[in-house]
Amino acid sequence: MKKAAPIIIALLLCSCVSPVIRQEYLKTGARNVGPDILASHPADYKGKTIILGGIIINTTVTDKESTIEALFVPVDQNGYLENTAGPGRYLVVWPRANGILDPLIYRRNRRITVAGTFVGTSEGKIGKASYTFPVIDALQIFLWETPRYYPAYYYPPYYYYGPYWYPYWGSRYYWWY
């Protein structure tokens, strides 16, 4: 038992949640400052590091930069997204020197966590209405995986979800044949 205790402790420590954004940004960055606050008080946050979560609405690429328009989602202390979207939208600017953000990869409804410097606001439109977008110069962007959804199968009295109800996953031969 004495030999197993260090192994169990090591496994528990390794299973801790790791941040998705660099520690230096998490320590100095302001989290969950919503776009509505940034747009109404831009002088208070200009030049400061901001950490925001979001759902991508649109990605555009120009000769100088890539721009992501995102719907705000609050993040926790490690940069993980919370379950609900907050009020407002913001723009993320990624310089062309750092590479290109391909609109097929950074597409609509993908989730992101962004660490960047707040540079000010920009006037734009949502539909036909005017809107003031906070603009973030991105230092790091974390793109979350797209969740996979599996259909439910009903074999009385149980429901089975996903491919895991097969005895041999991915095989077309089953154990009862």
Domain at 123, CATH number: 2.40.50.140
Confidence band (pLDDT; 50, 70, 90) for 175?
A: very low
Q: Is 145 helix (H, G, I), strand (E, B) or coil?
A: coil
Q: Supply the pLDDT for residue 7.
A: 62
Q: Is 75 helix (H, G, I), strand (E, B) or coil?
A: strand
Q: Supply the pLDDT for residue 169.
A: 45
Rounded Cα distance between 134 and 11, Å, is 42
Position with higher pLDDT, 32 vs 175: 32
The pairing of beta strand 49-61 with beta strand 30-31: parallel
| Any domain includes 47 | yes
Instruction: Kindly report the pTM of this predicted structure.
Output: 0.75
Rounded Cα distance between 77 and 113, Å, is 12
| Any domain includes 63 | yes
| Any domain includes 68 | yes
Q: What is the residue-averaged pLDDT of the chain?
A: 83
Position with higher pLDDT, 170 vs 138: 138
Structural domain boundaries enclosing 117: 17-143
| Any domain includes 174 | no
Based on the structure, what is the number of domains in the chain? Answer: 1
